[in-house]
Chain A
Amino acid sequence: QSVLTQPPSASGTPGQRVTISCSGSSSNIGSNTVNWYQQLPGTAPKLLIYSNNQRPSGVPDRFSGSKSGTSASLAISGLQSEDEADYYCAAWDDSLNAVFGGGTKLTVL
């Protein structure tokens, strides 16, 4: 059972906009920023969004993040086949432990 809650799966067709939710509590998301990681099949996770809504260099602006209260969301617009991957939200809790969501498997139909 992961500390942060994500839907296990999401899907969309090419060009569509998809959102993935991440729910936490006052001791993690509610008091710290959220990061998102993308894990393409058979590869290591890669940083996708940091500090709630910041994109690292090289990440397309089709990816965006937001946070409100104890929840966060990742939005992917203009969905492409190469976006098919597992997506994980993460945050730090007040005890300085890193916590992850269970991951959301995104399928591009």
Chain B
Amino acid sequence: EVQLVQSGAEVKKPGESLKISCKGSGYSFTSYWIGWVRQMPGKGLEWMGIIYPGDSDTRYSPSFQGQVTISADKSISTAYLQWSSLKASDTAMYYCARLSSNGINYWFDPWGQGTLVTVSS
């Protein structure tokens, strides 16, 4: 079974750093892009960026470029989303998802269970 399992909920203070993870299993982790999606409380889905674990090629949404860092460690089939200095506005649920394809079209499937990040003083 293809599965993405994310790290647990985090509570942080403004200015702190954070790295959350997404571990893939049941497929060749290096052969599929992994994306990150933000969902702020009571709001919709926002695409943050994607990474290809095979060579760490990374693309960011213009809205998140410079705000977060996406990385991957293919040796342990894990992708990461990282902040160097959190803000209260980073409070949200963060989902990872595998980018699946038929060679022409692309879609996110499956999704991880989500990691809730709460930033509060």
Decide if B107 touches A45 in the complex (CB within 8 Å).
no
Q: Does A63 contact B (CB under 8 A)?
A: no
With A51-B107, A56-B109: A88-B44 Cβ-Cβ less than 8 Å: yes
With A44-B95, A45-B95, A51-B102: A100-B107 Cβ-Cβ less than 8 Å: no
Chain B neighbourhood of A99, CB < 8 A: 47
Chain B neighbourhood of A97, CB < 8 A: 47, 61-62
Decide if A103 touches B47 in the complex (CB within 8 Å).
no
**Distance from A96 Cβ to chain B, minimum over Cβ atoms (Å):** 6
Residues of chain A at interface, number, CB under 8 A: 23
Decide if B105 touches A103 in the complex (CB within 8 Å).
no
Decide if B111 touches A46 in the complex (CB within 8 Å).
yes
Binding site for B on A (CB under 8 A): 2, 32-33, 35, 37, 44-47, 50-51, 56, 88, 90, 92, 96-103
27 CB-based A-B contacts, threshold 8 Å = A2-B44, A32-B105, A33-B105, A35-B107, A35-B108, A37-B45, A44-B95, A44-B111, A44-B112, A44-B114, A45-B37, A45-B97, A46-B110, A47-B107, A47-B110, A47-B111, A50-B100, A50-B107, A88-B44, A97-B47, A97-B61, A97-B62, A98-B108, A99-B47, A100-B46, A102-B44, A103-B44
